[in-house]
Amino acid sequence: MKMFYGLILLVGINSMLNDSGGSGTPIGRLRQVQKTPESVIAVYDSGKARVEIFKSGIVHLTIQRGDDSRKSFAVIEEPEELSRYKIDSDKKAISVSLKDGAVKYLPESMNLSYVPQNSSNQLDLIGIQFEGSGLVATFDIHGARNFYGLGEKTLPYNKYGTCDTMWNSDFPAYSAKLDPLYESIPFLLKADTSGAYGLFFDNTFRSVFDVGASDSGKLVYKSAGGALELYLITGKNSTEIVQRFSELTGKMAMPPIWALGYQQSRWSYYPEEKVLDLARGFRKREIPCDVIYLDINYMDGYRCFTWSPKDFPTPKNMLDTLHDLGFKIVTIIDPGIKNESGYRVHDSGVKEDVFVKSPDGKYFAGQVWPGDCVFPDFFNEKTRKWWGSQYEFLLDYGVDGFWNDMNEPSVFNGPNKTFPLDVVHRLDVEDHTNSTGKNATVTHAEVHNVYGMQMARASREGLEKLEPDERPFVLTRANYAGGQRYAAMWTGDNFSSFAHLKLALSMFLNIGVSGQPFVGSDVGGFIGNPSAELFSRWLELGVFTPFFRTHSVWDSKPREPWAFDSASMEVNRGVIERRYELLPEIYTAFRDASENGLPIVRPLYLDFPEDQEAYNISDEFLFGDNLLVAPVVDSGTASREIYLPGRHSGDDVKWRSFYDGEEIQKGWQSVGAPLGKTPIFLRDGTILLTQSLIQSTSQQADTLILKIYGTNSAKGSSYFDDGETMSYKRGDFLVWNITYEYTNSHGILNFDREGTYQPRYRFLSVDVSVLPEQRGRVPAHKAVMKTSDGRELVGEITDIRNGVVRVTFPFTTEVRSIVVE
């Protein structure tokens, strides 16, 4: 896919602007309108506009000066053949009729209008100006007041009335309103009860979204360079729009299952003996944990791809022991390579000529943790390959995953804490051509926002090459649209406060609808020291956070789950155990997200688009398809106000308490929420898949437990595979679709199986009477499993508590039905 960008035509811009009088265009007069199989192009004196269609609902409008083009970093789709659509084009108008609305581009005035089928909120591009090297595009939003997305942004949750900048920046201990932060996803979602649309501005220069802040009726988009690269995403509701955006920019790859476990980090656990003590501490106290992180102190003088000989003299032994204890290890890797002859990584990079250069052709050097550093130029394949191959060093010791940090890039003594804007990046020849057909170089000003994503890409591609059958785990701090293809992300150096706990959740929701499902925050807050209460509450949110890691700054107090007092250790253990109990649901939610591009932590309005209230709620969320979670984000309270959606939508959803199956009314109400007892609800009619306790995903849980939260009928589905290799891509997985019906005092479960993977559970249990109204109704005298190979197995029946009956069978994927009577 080619996208146009204007190499800045400084000369003549004023005259172009002045020239617009007659024709109304800022890039000269309209000359002609041409058609190619995939685009309609309006040619102006000194630029062009192009209309393409992507993925049925997406109209791509480029308006640019000049002729240059380069490949998008974000978009992975090709434009579709226009012959498949109804398009009229002449010099007056290029009109596209889509299922969900009509889009019209007027070449003379360079205006665009979108009239959605089912919404009162039309959208019009009413003016575009090229100013200096940048551009300003003004849209009439026709009264729309609800906007979301824009990736990693602080408050407010609804972006209407805010001015948001895309410029990846390292701001430790950021405030709840600071902007910009570490990553840039220039995707804005308009969503309200009248309908939704998405606007993706695929321009990598510094840009600003003024969403009704300066003029309440307008969205003003400004970029410091390049072209207007607008993808207008249409659809019947926000779910469809988020899905289409994910088709355009790619989906999260399935992570290894251990990356879904609880993870413990601090800056830094060292030396070796402390790391081993930490690991043993978890096992001794029987608090589940999968991953330990090694921050910068594991290295020799902060040199990437080394071990500190003083603090980590026997890393192989340490890793072997940690693996024996059932832990995975993730090490940090920064882009700054110590600028020091004789250091192997530096010397090989110099030999391969992979480091970023200043305009004078010398390597650019700046200060990061190791002192003076040079930085890989991840924009070309040669560098990415070189970088990827460096991981062999750590893989050989048995390191399991990698954490790419400081990749905004953050440079302590750089102008504005990053590279100078005139630093030169060398691009891939085939992807980036200028008008003379030669491979291009670009300045840092143009691609700053993509540096982190290209680092994560280089890391992922390198790991895939080194261990082709393993699923890589890469965590990144900086990113750009489409970066979900390469890495998970976390929200950087936050703060230990209830305000930041609340903020983390609202950030997850906007990051999720921006295409990135695999997100988390430093549990407890990176800077500062949480109270025992704040830490437990943050863990409670963490259970339902896709990336679940405790992390803290070097001078913070100990933050292991047992670091406070014995009462809070008990609470924390119980909370972390819930993550492991729910792992079959969580893993299935990951699988769904990797297939459908929807967030795992979902704002209520995605599933309840007609419920007005849902658009204002940023402290509750849906987790996957079945759960609604309302974490406590305030201090000193044992209850909270919750809103259960569905009241206005005509939807007949009913909600049940996760804990006792009681039905809870829709709408606003107060619910009890003592420490450790997060308000969690399920849609009535859900079969929840849980499992017996394990201490890490390196262990096999004994029992898969189905819990029926439906009076007369319920359904559930679950996805299984080996959790670590690529064999699922070759068909080695299992999907179970399970239904439950209650008739004539019988409960009947039917299992529909797709795939051949054999999970290694020993038992399959069903809790047949989770709901109060079911207790006693299913007498459970007898439970019989029928299998596809003709066997009939009689289940063991136990009353587990207060009349909740559990029936247990040997685990088999041959199960076809279970009848409880």
CB 319, CB 280: distance < 8 Å? no
Q: To the nearest whole angstrom, how small is the minimum distance from the Cβ of residue 176 to ligand GLC?
A: 18
512 binds ligand GLC (CB under 6 A): no
Among residues 448, 357, 442, 369, the alpha carbon closest in space to that of 405 is found at 369
Report the C-alpha gap between 791 and 796 in whole angstroms: 16
- Phi, psi angles (nearest 5°) of residue 71: -75, 145
Binding-site member from 332, 455, 474, 575 for ligand GLC (CB under 6 A): 332
Tokens matching residue 344: 């192997």
Neighbours of 381 (CB within 10 A): 16
Q: To the nearest whole angstrom, how small is the minimum distance from the Cβ of residue 267 to ligand GLC?
A: 4
Q: Chain centroid to CA 389: how far?
A: 26
Tokens matching residue 209: 């979204």
Report the C-alpha gap between 775 and 779 in whole angstroms: 8
Binding-site member from 58, 135, 166, 296 for ligand GLC (CB under 6 A): 296
Q: To the nearest whole angstrom, how small is the minimum distance from the Cβ of residue 293 to ligand GLC?
A: 9
Report the C-alpha gap between 522 and 527 in whole angstroms: 9
Q: CB-wise, 157 or 267, nearer to ligand GLC?
A: 267
Q: CB-wise, 477 or 485, nearer to ligand GLC?
A: 477
Within positions 473 to 492, which residues make up the interface with ligand GLC, using CB under 6 A?
477, 492
Helix-then-strand count for the chain, H and E = 14, 53
Neighbours of 507 (CB within 10 A): 25
CB 785, CB 818: distance < 8 Å? yes
Positive or negative CA dihedral for 691, 695, 696, 701?
negative
Q: CB-wise, 553 or 738, nearer to ligand GLC?
A: 553
Q: To the nearest whole angstrom, how small is the minimum distance from the Cβ of residue 173 to ligand GLC?
A: 10
Binding-site member from 164, 192, 377, 405 for ligand GLC (CB under 6 A): 405
- Phi, psi angles (nearest 5°) of residue 60: -105, 120
Q: What is the DSSP string of 407-424?
A: TTT--TTSGGGS--TT-E
Q: Nearest-CB residue to ligand GLC?
A: 267
Q: To the nearest whole angstrom, how small is the minimum distance from the Cβ of residue 693 to ligand GLC?
A: 30
CB 736, CB 752: distance < 8 Å? yes
Tokens matching residue 796: 């063991």
Binding-site member from 4, 139, 267, 655 for ligand GLC (CB under 6 A): 267
Place of tokens 């090694």: 294
295 binds ligand GLC (CB under 6 A): yes
Q: To the nearest whole angstrom, how small is the minimum distance from the Cβ of residue 170 to ligand GLC?
A: 7
Report the C-alpha gap between 601 and 505 in whole angstroms: 9
Among residues 122, 124, 95, the alpha carbon closest in space to that of 107 is found at 95
Q: To the nearest whole angstrom, how small is the minimum distance from the Cβ of residue 451 to ligand GLC?
A: 16
Q: To the nearest whole angstrom, how small is the minimum distance from the Cβ of residue 767 to ligand GLC?
A: 40
Within positions 147 to 166, which residues make up the interface with ligand GLC, using CB under 6 A?
none
Total residues belonging to the chain: 821
Tokens matching residue 347: 């010397």
Residue 367 amino acid letter: Q
Tokens matching residue 399: 């390191």
Question: Using the 8-state DSSP alphabet, how is residue 757 labeled?
Answer: -
Name the β-bridge partners of 475: 403, 488
Query: Beta strand 58-65 with 47-54: parallel, antiparallel or unpaired?
Result: antiparallel
Q: To the nearest whole angstrom, how small is the minimum distance from the Cβ of residue 528 to ligand GLC?
A: 14
In the chain the first and final C-alpha atoms are separated, in Å, by: 60
Q: To the nearest whole angstrom, how small is the minimum distance from the Cβ of residue 493 to ligand GLC?
A: 5
Cis peptide bond N-terminal to 376, omega within 30: no
Cα-based distances in Å from 498 to 179, 525, 606, 664, 778: 20, 9, 26, 27, 44
Q: CB-wise, 258 or 369, nearer to ligand GLC?
A: 369
Positive or negative CA dihedral for 593, 599, 603, 609?
negative
Catalytic residues: 405, 408, 493
x/- string (CB under 6 A) for ligand GLC, residues 429-468? ----------------------------------------
Q: To the nearest whole angstrom, how small is the minimum distance from the Cβ of residue 552 to ligand GLC?
A: 8
Q: CB-wise, 529 or 737, nearer to ligand GLC?
A: 529
CB 633, CB 642: distance < 8 Å? no
Among residues 448, 426, 449, the alpha carbon closest in space to that of 438 is found at 426
CB 227, CB 64: distance < 8 Å? yes
493 binds ligand GLC (CB under 6 A): yes
CB 703, CB 761: distance < 8 Å? yes
Q: CB-wise, 488 or 582, nearer to ligand GLC?
A: 488
Tokens matching residue 578: 């819930």
CB 177, CB 503: distance < 8 Å? no
Q: Is 624 left (phi over 0), alpha (psi -120 to 50) or beta?
A: left
Q: CB-wise, 475 or 513, nearer to ligand GLC?
A: 475
**Count residues contacting ligand GLC (CB under 6 A)?**
10
Q: CB-wise, 164 or 295, nearer to ligand GLC?
A: 295
Q: To the nearest whole angstrom, how small is the minimum distance from the Cβ of residue 447 to ligand GLC?
A: 22
Within positions 684 to 703, which residues make up the interface with ligand GLC, using CB under 6 A?
none
Q: CB-wise, 559 or 578, nearer to ligand GLC?
A: 559
Cα-based distances in Å from 715 to 235, 423, 430, 686: 28, 56, 49, 5
Q: Chain centroid to CA 465: how far?
A: 24
Q: To the nearest whole angstrom, how small is the minimum distance from the Cβ of residue 295 to ligand GLC?
A: 5
186 binds ligand GLC (CB under 6 A): no
Q: CB-wise, 172 or 301, nearer to ligand GLC?
A: 172
Q: CB-wise, 332 or 374, nearer to ligand GLC?
A: 332
409 binds ligand GLC (CB under 6 A): no
Q: CB-wise, 38 or 295, nearer to ligand GLC?
A: 295
Report the C-alpha gap between 695 and 261 in whole angstroms: 10
CB 182, CB 452: distance < 8 Å? yes
Q: CB-wise, 553 or 705, nearer to ligand GLC?
A: 553
Binding residues for ligand GLC (CB under 6 A): 172, 267, 295-296, 332, 405, 477, 492-493, 551
